[in-house]
Structure 1
Amino acid sequence: MKQRSPGLVLDADAARPLESGDAAASRLQRAGSAVQKGYLVAQRKARSLVRGVHSRWRRSLQLRVVTSTLLFSVLVTAVLGFFLVHQVQTGLLDAKTQSAFNDHYAGLSTARNIIQDSDQQDPDRQLDQIIEDLSARSGSTGLYDVVIMPSVGGMTGRVSGGVDEASVPERLREDVRKNGELPYGNYTEIIRGTQREPGLAVGAQLSSTYELYYLFPLDHEQQMLNLVQQTLVLVAIALTLLLAAVAYVVTRQVVTPVRQAASSAEKLSSGDLSERMKVRGEDDLARLAMSFNDMAGSLQEKIQELEELSKLQRQFVSDVSHELRTPLTTIRMAGDLLYDDRDDLDPTMRRSVELLQSQLERFEELLADLLEISRHDAGAATLATGTVDIRDSVLKAVGEAEQIAEKRGIKVVLRLPVDPCVAEFDARRINRILRNLVVNAIEHSEGKDVIVTAAGDRDAVAVAVRDFGVGLKEGEEHLCFDRFWRADPARARTTGGTGLGLSISKEDALLHGGWLQAWGMPGKGSQFRLSLPRKSGGELRGSPLPLAPPEITLGRTLSAFSSMQGDFDRKGIWISGPGEDQ
């Protein structure tokens, strides 16, 4: 029978501790991950709390005032309390020192009289008598303890009240030995077995061989000082809270009307012209409320006047536009007859008839735009939505502008997606928007190509029309949608459309819940982007196409990347490009 090799047994046995060590390491790793996760959660909560407090601090005037009052109150009460405690402590110790010196002087005189009256007695009996008489004078409350210590070695002293001779500080004994005629005092600790208490030691030379010391406990003064400190702390807390409450009440009286004024101003700015502030009393805040109400009343009157004037204006434009259609139709019929027979007229009359025909077409376009604007102003514009492919609308708009592009020698480049981009919209209005954008791009392209791009995502479809003409100056990307606005006022009025095309297009886009936005840069051209939601009435949150052209966005990104790489290079860091070794 084969026996197992000892080496195999040794390896198997050694594997068990290794497996248990891996398990322990895994448990330690899981515990460390849990601790780290808990730390991150606590850190996020702390940051959220700090942000909340900081936001509350910045937004609440009342909180800042009350907090500042509270801090200043704490500071003032702390400073005053410190000086008050110091004065009380100094007064108590001065009074105690004066009383201690008086008591010691009286006891010293008594002890010297005892020594003089009993010169022939035993020195030990003299010391006992002195201790007995002086201790009796301290009273039942133990006002002081008496210590008699020898000035030379080989002699014993006396103590009363069980105090230790070590309670007398060595520095005081040196002062007494140098000049024993005068009493000296020093603060010390009175030792009674294992107990220690603060005290005052006063001493003087009793005779050539002995020194007399009085030990005065300071526990009473310490208790009084503790009582004063506790009282001051309680008074300071109560005073601080009272001042904070007073500051809260006072600031609330001021802040509440201000908040009401801010709320009224917000309602007024949102269109609620009937909002007014309540007037209470006759103080400054009441005058503020009255002034605010007067201002709101004046604004309401002016806005109502402007609204009435605007209504009259819109009504006038609508009425005039409708009234002009009848004579325009008659003029149009006469103009068409003349235009059909223009070949039979002399060249001068033929040219006049052609100009009449072109201006009649321009007049009809202006009249149609005025009628459309009046419908938007009156809120009478409606949508006839249907499911349409945005690519078909783009092709139709480009086809209608093809003749204008051929006359100017401009090529319109289409970048349409392969897959359908279907959305719900009013095809007539969207075709008009796209035709206006394409025609405007052709007229301002300065002979360069025009690029029309369409795209779609899950929620929206978009069309961008790009030209490479003079572009737009800063701020003109909003002005270009104003009525009768022209980028170059010096251009002839016969160039371009009626000046209402982009305004009508903006209104049509908003009617769909979409966006019509412009981007431009002097010398780089301009780009107009139309974005529409897929579903009619849906909320538009983004656009499938960028507002700025891709080459502009890419250029900014590369410029920013080059700047970052330059910074890294200056710091000695190399950024490798594609395919390079890291």
Structure 2
Amino acid sequence: MRRLRFTGLRVRLAAAFTAVALLASVLASGISYVLLRRVMLQRAQDAVINDVRTTLAQQIPPALPPDVEPLVAASLEDALGSMPGREAVAVTVPLRGETGLPPPGVLDVPVTREFAGRAMRGVVFQRVQRHGTPYLLVGARVTGYETTADEPWRTTPPMVFVSASLRREASDLALFTRTLLIADALALAAALALALLATGGVLRPVRRLGAAARALGEGMLDTRVRVRGRDELADLAETFNRTAEALERTVTELRAMEAASRRFVADVSHELRTPLTSMIAMTDVLAEEAAEGGEGGGGGTAARLVADETRRLGALVEHLIEISRFDAGAAALVLDDVNVAAAVGATLRARGWREEVAVEGPADLFVRLDPRRFDVIVANLAGNALKHGRPPVSLRFGRPEREGAGGVRVVVADRGSGLPADVAPVVFDRFVKAEAARSRSEGSGLGLSIARENALLHGGTLEAANGPEGGAVFTLWLPDGEAEELL
């Protein structure tokens, strides 16, 4: 089961598409709400104001008889307050320009002195909230009328205040808002579903390309992807197929060349082994005869030089044969219970190095490994330290210091100048020599490579570094072979 990745390309594309759809839906809904609210409130406001103006024009004639203000006030209150949701009150206009205010509690909305003052000059209105309910408050006073010259207060018409509830309009707006929210939610869900479908169709070829690329990286060079359509993804698939085909052709050619070169090295090495064996024997005989015959130093020296170089060439051929076995995958382990101290001592004694290398380690350490390959590793490490370092050369072995790690750990160190900076990273590469500038140097440059291949064949490691007190330090770790056999 594939784990859902919340940072994947499909999730990000779907989120982007959904965000765009949500933004568009919210903008459209917001604009619709604002326009509808403005239209509804403007319509309700115009209806109330026009009704107030029409009622004032009908109920208050231009020429008022004296002392009719109570009758006019009652008539205005009946006419303007009879509609549902409205309340009206008529207030006597005080003399000398004071502002008239309705009694408290008569209207649903209290009238401020500032609002009443503005109503003295004509029709005014404002929208207010009272206990969570919106209201439209209208104030008006008729100014175009005739008064009595001697007693004007007897013919002054009253001020009118009307409060109209906008509850129905608010309810309609709330219903419209809920409808918009439901529509936005449905649009968001539809946009998300469409985005997932669209991105799935777009990313499916990308996932196929990714799987093909991973398979190609794992070595399946015949991997190809199906080309569908004529869009950019189809062009990408065609490009991938052409690249994979070219890569397969190139890798096949390189593998064939590598296999041919390995076979050539192996064949040449095997062909050289027989004549070199004869040559080594003959040159040794010639060197002994020259030494016994008492010939001049020139002939004996030449014979010994030929013998030494022939033996060196023989060692190189043996190393090449060993390397060819590793390259061909033909190298195998022959495991046995080995006493490490005895094996190390035998290796050094066989090569005459027992007095030159200081050995330190437990005498009763037994490890299951290949004794012949362990001999090759120790001989190469000790020989490298003796040839390229300075005494004292030490060889320490024991159990690994890492917790839970079995096997054996061998450390070979010298007090020489250490590994040069340019040689340290490639010290285990083939034909690498610390004294590469010399046209003639002892060794084939394959010893450390063979040592590391043998360590890897055991499942172990071989590392090189410079010691804190100078000199090169090679650290070998070989696991116990019993764990390998149990697997």
The answer for the alignment partner of 2:393 in structure 1 is 450
Q: 2:127·2:136 contact (CA, 8 Å) conserved in 1?
A: yes
Q: Which amino acid aligns with 1:350?
A: G
Superposition pairs of residues 279-318 of structure 1, within 5 angstroms: 279-318=227-266
Q: Closer, same or farther in 2 for the Cα pair 1:324/1:484, shift >3 Å?
A: same
Mapped to 2, the partners of 1:526 and 1:164 lie a distance apart of 107
Q: Closer, same or farther in 2 for the Cα pair 1:433/1:120, shift >3 Å?
A: closer
Mapped to 2, the partners of 1:399 and 1:148 lie a distance apart of 131
The answer for the alignment partner of 1:491 in structure 2 is 438
Mapped to 2, the partners of 1:217 and 1:143 lie a distance apart of 5
Matching of residue 246 in structure 1 with residue 165 in structure 2:
no
Once the two structures are TM-superposed, the CA of residue 439 in structure 1 deviates from its matched residue by: 0.9
Mapped to 1, the partners of 2:420 and 2:34 lie a distance apart of 74
The answer for the alignment partner of 1:440 in structure 2 is 384
Superposition pairs of residues 512-551 of structure 1, within 5 angstroms: 512-520=458-466, 524-536=470-482, 538=484
The answer for the alignment partner of 1:129 in structure 2 is 75
1:439 is paired with a residue whose SS is helix
Superposition pairs of residues 162-561 of structure 1, within 5 angstroms: 164-165=106-107, 167-170=109-112, 171-177=114-120, 179=121, 182-189=122-129, 197-205=133-141, 208=156, 210-343=158-291, 344=293, 345-403=295-353, 411-416=356-361, 418=362, 420-445=364-389, 447-457=390-400, 459-473=406-420, 476-495=423-442, 497-520=443-466, 524-536=470-482, 538=484
Unaligned runs of 5+ in 1: 1-51, 540-582
Q: Closer, same or farther in 2 for the Cα pair 1:330/1:444, shift >3 Å?
A: closer
The answer for the alignment partner of 1:85 in structure 2 is 33
The answer for the alignment partner of 1:146 in structure 2 is 88
The answer for the alignment partner of 1:95 in structure 2 is 43
Q: Closer, same or farther in 2 for the Cα pair 1:298/1:120, shift >3 Å?
A: closer
Once the two structures are TM-superposed, the CA of residue 296 in structure 1 deviates from its matched residue by: 1.4
Once the two structures are TM-superposed, the CA of residue 429 in structure 1 deviates from its matched residue by: 0.5
Q: Closer, same or farther in 2 for the Cα pair 1:441/1:333, shift >3 Å?
A: closer
1:68 counterpart (13, 16, 22):
16
Unaligned runs of 5+ in 2: 143-154
Once the two structures are TM-superposed, the CA of residue 256 in structure 1 deviates from its matched residue by: 2.1
Q: 1:148·1:157 contact (CA, 8 Å) conserved in 2?
A: no
Q: Closer, same or farther in 2 for the Cα pair 1:196/1:504, shift >3 Å?
A: closer
Mapped to 2, the partners of 1:80 and 1:525 lie a distance apart of 79
Count of residues paired in the alignment: 460
Q: Which amino acid aligns with 1:467?
A: D
Q: Which amino acid aligns with 2:433?
A: R
Q: 1:472·1:522 contact (CA, 8 Å) conserved in 2?
A: no
1:341 is paired with a residue whose SS is helix
Q: 2:88·2:107 contact (CA, 8 Å) conserved in 1?
A: no
Matching of residue 104 in structure 1 with residue 52 in structure 2:
yes
Q: 2:101·2:116 contact (CA, 8 Å) conserved in 1?
A: no
2:60 is paired with a residue whose SS is helix
2:429 is paired with a residue whose SS is coil
Once the two structures are TM-superposed, the CA of residue 65 in structure 1 deviates from its matched residue by: 2.1
Once the two structures are TM-superposed, the CA of residue 522 in structure 1 deviates from its matched residue by: 11
Backbone CA RMSD of aligned residues: 3.1
Mapped to 2, the partners of 1:502 and 1:158 lie a distance apart of 111
Mapped to 2, the partners of 1:188 and 1:392 lie a distance apart of 106
Mapped to 1, the partners of 2:101 and 2:13 lie a distance apart of 68
The answer for the alignment partner of 1:10 in structure 2 is none
Mapped to 2, the partners of 1:308 and 1:288 lie a distance apart of 30
Mapped to 2, the partners of 1:61 and 1:215 lie a distance apart of 59
Mapped to 2, the partners of 1:475 and 1:271 lie a distance apart of 32
Q: 1:148·1:211 contact (CA, 8 Å) conserved in 2?
A: yes
Q: 1:473·1:520 contact (CA, 8 Å) conserved in 2?
A: no
Once the two structures are TM-superposed, the CA of residue 503 in structure 1 deviates from its matched residue by: 1.7
Mapped to 1, the partners of 2:231 and 2:215 lie a distance apart of 24
Once the two structures are TM-superposed, the CA of residue 255 in structure 1 deviates from its matched residue by: 2.1
Mapped to 2, the partners of 1:71 and 1:349 lie a distance apart of 95
1:169 is paired with a residue whose SS is coil
Q: Closer, same or farther in 2 for the Cα pair 1:507/1:90, shift >3 Å?
A: same
Q: Closer, same or farther in 2 for the Cα pair 1:443/1:337, shift >3 Å?
A: closer
Q: 2:76·2:90 contact (CA, 8 Å) conserved in 1?
A: no
The answer for the alignment partner of 2:149 in structure 1 is none
1:484 is paired with a residue whose SS is coil
By relative contact order (CA 8 Å, sep 6+), the higher-ranking structure is: 2
Q: Which amino acid aligns with 1:328?
A: L
Once the two structures are TM-superposed, the CA of residue 76 in structure 1 deviates from its matched residue by: 4.7
Mapped to 2, the partners of 1:65 and 1:475 lie a distance apart of 49
Q: Which amino acid aligns with 2:283?
A: G
Q: Which amino acid aligns with 1:435?
A: A
Normalization by structure 2: what TM-score?
0.85
